[in-house]
Amino acid sequence: MTDGNPDRPVIVLVHGAWHRPSTWDATRAALAGLGYETRIATLPSAGTDPSPTASMYDDAEAIRREVDAVDGPVVVLAHSYGGIPTAQGLTGADNVTQLIFLSAYLLDDGESMYSRHGMDAPADTSGTFPLPENPGLALYHDVPEDVATQAVADLVEQSLLSFTGTVTRAAWHDIPSTYIVSEDDRSIPTALQEVMAAHATTTRRWAGGHSAFLAAPERFAALVDEIIRSR
């Protein structure tokens, strides 16, 4: 999935917490069918062996490396937690033409995930952050059953430290952005998404749950294509 239409930007995909790059496979295939080359930013805060210890800033550096490796225009598409290191890491990335946030944490300067929820960060930031009590319901309630079962099996550990990092300069201040609000999200409440979406240049709506890229990859890829072409 590396050959795309040279007239279109490369899309760098950023997964969320507890996930690995393979979560994007179906949507990558759909985007390839529309002529897009895609690249994946692998976030070191998510992993299995050993338990991850990386910070949000480490994730931000991983995203920036993927972007800097592209010789040409880039659109970055970030999901869920991935919105935080995306905003942190891409200030001054001159080849990024657009940011797309799907059901994502879109934070402003000085905010962390903890502060966004009105909570103090824990004094001890070692260890991992637990999955939702029922990840299948929280993350994949509208995903086909076989796909959702495999997605839950593929989840990995997430460093607690990554959830405490504070954004120092959010890239959406300088780069045009679109926020896709998921209207039936069981993980990030739609009302909270609406608040964060106010930071974005434009807003789109998805009549589904937290993981559109698994629930309906072709339809989601078509929405991404429409967003990119609308600029």
Nearest to 179 by CA among 124, 120, 126, 227: 227
Domains of the chain plus CATH, in order, are: 10-229 (3.40.50.1820)
pLDDT digits (tens, 9 = 90+) for 79-126: 999 999 999 999 999 999 999 999 999 999 999 999 999 999 999 999
Say yes or no to pLDDT of 2 above 60.
no
Dist CA 115 CA 117 (whole Å): 5
Dist CA 50 CA 61 (whole Å): 20
pTM of the predicted structure, to 2 decimals: 0.96
pLDDT digits (tens, 9 = 90+) for 5-57: 778 999 999 999 999 999 999 999 999 999 999 999 999 999 987 789 999 99
In single-letter form, the type of residue at position 57 comes to: Y
Backbone angles phi and psi of 226, in degrees to 5: -65, -40
Is beta strand 74-79 parallel, antiparallel or unpaired with respect to 157-158?
unpaired
